[in-house]
Structure 1
Amino acid sequence: MRKVIQLSLVLLLMVSMANAQRENAINIISYNIRLNVASDGENAWPKRKDNVKALVRFHDADILCVQEALPLQVDELLENTNYAMEGVGRDDGKRAGEFSAIYFDKSRFIKKDGGTFWLSETPEKPSKGWDAALNRVCSWVRLFDKKNKKEFLVFNTHYDHIGVQARIESAKLLKRKIQEIAPKLPVVFTGDLNVTPETEAIATIKSFLIDAKEASVEPAYGPVGTFNAFKFDSPLKDKIDYIFVNKGFKVQKFGVLSDSKDLRYPSDHLPIIARLSF
């Protein structure tokens, strides 16, 4: 009888610990939401913004990292939410151009620090690097998690879509910057990196961070590819969106979300999600 009671107590303790781990986990979504351009027609932002917001809300994103967000989109993603936002426009370091913005639940997280640097030879100011076609930025924020009583950092970026050398050099710059800004704390690095996993640019990141998909305790969920080009019958073969972590985090789950409505995707990329614990 005593052994039965002991076993029951152990099982109850395990269930309690598992529930606590789920409750204290951080859900983070990385999502290229596609910039707002009228030429997208039926897929233009005004016709899909509500679906983007509903997706983020349904999947309980504690942190949302977006790419390609223009100022109006940045503002609309904040409306009727409990988010605060870190990020600047890539063209002037203020409001002009696309953001690589980071949204975080302000009731759970306290911002300790944050900033933006450019993916270029002059990262401290608005600039275009190497053979890139456009200015590119990485925004970052250091947060205190009130649930877990821990600090961590989130970095979010969008590599150039044209410059091969720019993507390679951007990865090298990111490695230096992340190690400089966050030498000891847990780190999450997200982004649309415009490269597939076998490339040098990804190898550089994997030399010091771990792909959340590969680290997930549960088998990764969803398709392999993350770019759909607004085609509902896309084969979804090419993975170009990523969430990386360092050893400060355990990845409980990872998924590529193929949510749709009326045979339409909310963006030309699929969002990716990871559930993280310290």
Structure 2
Amino acid sequence: MKKIVALLILLFLVGQVSYAQKNHPLNVITYNIRYSNDTDGANVWEKRKENVKALVKFYDTDILCVQEALSDQFDYLLAGTNFDVVGAGRDDGQRKGEFSAIYFNKDRFIKKDGGIFWLSATPDVPSKGWDAALNRVCSWVKLYDKSNKKEFLVFNTHYDHVGVQARIESAKLIKQKIQEIAPKLPVIFTGDLNVTPETEAIATIKSFLTDAKDISLEPHYGPNGTFNSFNFNSELKNRIDYIFVNKGFKVLKHATLSDSKDQRYYSDHLPVFVKLKF
């Protein structure tokens, strides 16, 4: 009898280990890295870029979603890594203007599909929407996770910083596009949305996705705010960077990372980090 019980316990433990191996977590970061601006003085990209890249590596990032990357920044974050990437410049759909790019571990994930669309009434061509000050773009990629044998999608964007109506309409368009492209698959949606949580633009997203912070199994870690304006003494009250998921994911951890060096942040935004499981 004891041998039978011992065997059953062993089989249970083997099954648990097998399940854990199949449900390998994903580390995801969304990060507005601040565009390469020569007038940023002590905070110019050349003085920050190594720290940004080191942060991404330190947190074992499987998927990195960035905003405000110009072409040189886009290339730098890719060089010498095991990432592949989806994204294009918002001004011409190629290399001109800021990228809202999605980097992913090419050793773990296989790209199945992907693309970009503009946040406007004409999303298939470079364009500016509604009362926006600038062209805005959303990148997306459909990935196959070899570790978990699962397909899922990632969407990443940067809403306009001026147009109130543009942010509201952008949220509606994002909802429409996600429901068209990924009606049944697990979804991650990230971005600098330039709005705080109580706004209509966020309510639209929360009508079909969940704020990862709200369902994290571990309590949120780090500041609530994500915008620091390169002020190391910032109160960090304004939360405008987000990660949302649908029911295809469980959120194990959620954090706003306040990493710094020599009393300087690596960008005027803080990165948001989540650990997810299918």
Q: 1 CA distance for matches of 2:60 and 2:162?
A: 34
Superposition map of 1:115-264 within 5 A: 115-264=115-264
CA-to-aligned-CA distance 1:44-73 (integer Å, 9 cap, x gap): 000000000000000010000000000000
State the partner residue of 2:17: 16
* Runs of 5+ unmatched residues, structure 1: none
State the partner residue of 1:105: 105
Measure how far apart 1:80 and its partner are: 1.0
State the partner residue of 1:40: 40
Distance 1:218 1:9, change over 3 A: farther
TM-score of the superposed pair, with normalisation by structure 1: 0.95
Measure how far apart 1:20 and its partner are: 3.2
- 1:136 counterpart letter in structure 2: R
Are 1:266 and 2:266 matched, yes or no? yes
Q: 2 CA distance for matches of 1:11 and 1:275?
A: 26
Q: 1 CA distance for matches of 2:238 and 2:6?
A: 52
TM-score of the superposed pair, with normalisation by structure 2: 0.95
Secondary structure at 1:77 match in 2: helix
Q: 1 CA distance for matches of 2:99 and 2:276?
A: 24
Q: 2 CA distance for matches of 1:38 and 1:63?
A: 28
Q: 2 CA distance for matches of 1:6 and 1:230?
A: 59
Q: 1 CA distance for matches of 2:19 and 2:218?
A: 14
- State the number of aligned residues: 277
- Root mean square deviation of aligned Cα: 1.8
Secondary structure at 1:51 match in 2: helix
Distance 1:11 1:220, change over 3 A: farther
- 2:270 counterpart letter in structure 1: L
Q: 2 CA distance for matches of 1:170 and 1:268?
A: 23
Q: 1 CA distance for matches of 2:276 and 2:14?
A: 21
Q: 1 CA distance for matches of 2:207 and 2:20?
A: 33
Seq. identity, %: 70
Distance 1:6 1:197, change over 3 A: farther
Secondary structure at 1:66 match in 2: strand
